[in-house]
Amino acid sequence: MFLIGKHKVLHIVDLTKDEYEEVPSIIIGTLYKHQELKPSILKEIAEELQAVPQPSRLNYCSTKDSLYLEDDVSRVKLVGNLTAEALVTGLICAVCGHQTKDGSFWVEDVCYPGPYLRSLNQTPSSCAKDHDKFILFLSGLDFVNEADSIPMDLLIEWITGSLGEEFVQEEAAKIVRVIIAGNSVRGLPKTFTRKGYFENKRKEALVNLEMHHSVHRLDKFISKIAGSCSVTLMPGEFDPSCHSLPQHSLHPNILPISSRGKNLYGTTNPWIGKIGSRIVGGSSGQPIEDIMKVSNVDLSPLDWLEKTLEWQHFAPTAPDTLAEYPFDQADPLVMNEIPNIYFVGNMERYETKLVQSIDRNDDSEGQPVRLICIPKFSTSQTAVLVDLDSLDTKPVSFGAVE
């Protein structure tokens, strides 16, 4: 136990001692949000047996939701200046307050491990290493349903420098990396009921054949653009990869044509890496979509993306409501470094914001961060172009102008 100002830093189990009742204190732990409506495997089994039918829900929030802070020994209920609707399970935080007579902990303030963030309007300082270099972001190509679309053909021609006037071709020539953020093969799930076994088996065979053809189309698409720039391919929720996060990269054997070259880089989902002098990281969309299911505040996907940066975790709700492989030593989804470009794929529309990170210890300015919501290409026909030097970003549309 030690002091920070007038507050004693305690273990949660210390709150059981009478001497710390009503004493200003700080406790540190993992936030747990109890929600009666969130998915439960026992409820799913009961539903399957038709004992307790459970209606499908798009949101798991209710007025009965409650917050707890726990560590490896004990937990305590949190009350006070916290809004349960705006928080999720899995957040590491420190809370300042005092224990009440009923055994709860009254919260006066809360602190997360990430930096403070504020909007940034000015252009960040440039780096000669990144001058005249662009990254192109794509997501939700959905080759099952958008195999032979005109926007897809225009996209290929633009990246390879075969489309537009000279200044358009010069811009495309500056693209050094194309990042494809998931759901390239399929953009929506295929579900079957338990009725009609043989009919469903025939449908399943057709779906598998459809998947095979779509993967071949993706392979040809990548092979065409990989001749002009490097390609980073991330798996998505409905791509042929594992279901749990972090998803494994697509196996090279299912992309035989594009895998022959040296410009295709298969990565995990989520992923973080370095391009030029910039750190780039993000996911194919599942973490943000899951956060929106367990929260109930009027925030956009871009706002939630900014919050995960403050929380310093790619997918805080995993493995509570989002499948994650069980790691026992360390969580690979924790952000150990702040990215300069932080993105999420497969969103309904394009959004972006430039923020400045502020160190919590000495209020010094950190690095700028460009937040980007990448829209589904299959529905928006839009890609996102980012200047590595200035972090300026713009949507590039290949569909009809409304």
CA distances from 273 to 140, 144, 264, 281, 335 (A): 21, 29, 15, 6, 12
Looking at domain 8-111, does it have CATH number 2.40.50.430?
yes
Model confidence pLDDT, tens digit, residues 52-80? 555 567 788 888 899 999 998 899 999 98
The structure tokens listed for 230 are 């490097």
pLDDT at 192 over 50: no
The CA-based angle 23-29-31, given to 5 degrees, is: 110
Where, residue-wise, is CATH 3.60.21.50 in the chain?
134-397
How many CB atoms neighbour CB 306 within 10 A?
20
Q: For residues 310 and 129, which has the higher predicted lDDT (pLDDT)?
A: 310
Q: What percent of the chain has pLDDT over 70?
A: 87
Q: What is the pLDDT of residue 147?
A: 62
Looking at domain 134-397, does it have CATH number 3.40.50.11540? Answer: no
**pLDDT score for 328:** 84
131-147: b (≥16 Cβ within 10 Å) or e: eebbbbbbbbbbbbebb
Cis before 270 (ω within 30): yes
Find the Cα–Cα–Cα–Cα dihedral 67, 314, 305, 401, rounded to 10°.
-140
Is this structure's pTM higher than 0.75?
A: yes
Compute φ and ψ for 158, nearest 5 degrees. Answer: -65, -45
Predicted pLDDT at 33: 94
In the chain, which residues fall in CATH 2.40.50.430?
Answer: 8-111
Give 273's Cβ-side CA count (13 Å radius): 15
What does the pLDDT average to over 253-264?
92
Is pLDDT above 50 for 267? yes
Q: Give the pLDDT confidence of 324-362 residue by residue, as tens digits.
A: 998 888 899 999 999 999 999 999 999 999 998 887 666
The pLDDT tens digits of the residues spanning 160-186 come to 988 888 888 998 999 999 999 999 998
d(CA 111, CA 357): 15
Which amino acid does the sequence have at 271? W
Q: What is the pLDDT of residue 388?
A: 93
Q: Is 339 exposed, middle or buried (0-12, 13-18, 19+ CB in 10 A)?
A: buried
Can you tell me the mean pLDDT for 197-214?
71
